[in-house]
Amino acid sequence: MSILNEFRALEQALQTQQDRLESLKHNEQLSRELAFEQKLLTLLKRHNMGLEQLLGFIPRSLQQPPPNLCEPSAVYKAGKSRKPRTQP
């Protein structure tokens, strides 16, 4: 792939991501989740606790690992259940 083709592909991918980000900015569910996060962090700060300490109270069976944010599609996959991959 030439450098120009790579540039155009990255430019298109960036525009797609920017469009998705803009649509999320107006998402009501995101607004509620951000408000909840802010209230939770305020409460934790009031009690001199961190997220790690809070996770200590939650049984491991109920905890989900955070999405791999290095993965480009992690934003879209977060919150969705994934099927286990099968090896061929």
Q: pTM above 0.75?
A: no
Task: Assess if residue 34 is contained within a domain.
Answer: yes
Q: How many distinct structural domains can be found in the chain?
A: 1
Residue 17 within any structural domain of the chain: yes
Decide if 31 is inside a domain: yes
The DSSP call for residue 56 is H
Assigned domain for 82 exists: no
Residue range of the domain that includes 56: 3-61
CA distance 82 to 85: 9
Between CA 10 and CA 24, with CA 7 as vertex, the angle to 5 degrees is: 25
Asked whether residue 46 is assigned to any structural domain, the reply reads yes
Give per-residue pLDDT as tens, 25-80: 999 999 999 999 999 999 999 999 998 888 888 888 777 766 665 655 555 555 55
Give domain status of residue 86, yes or no: no
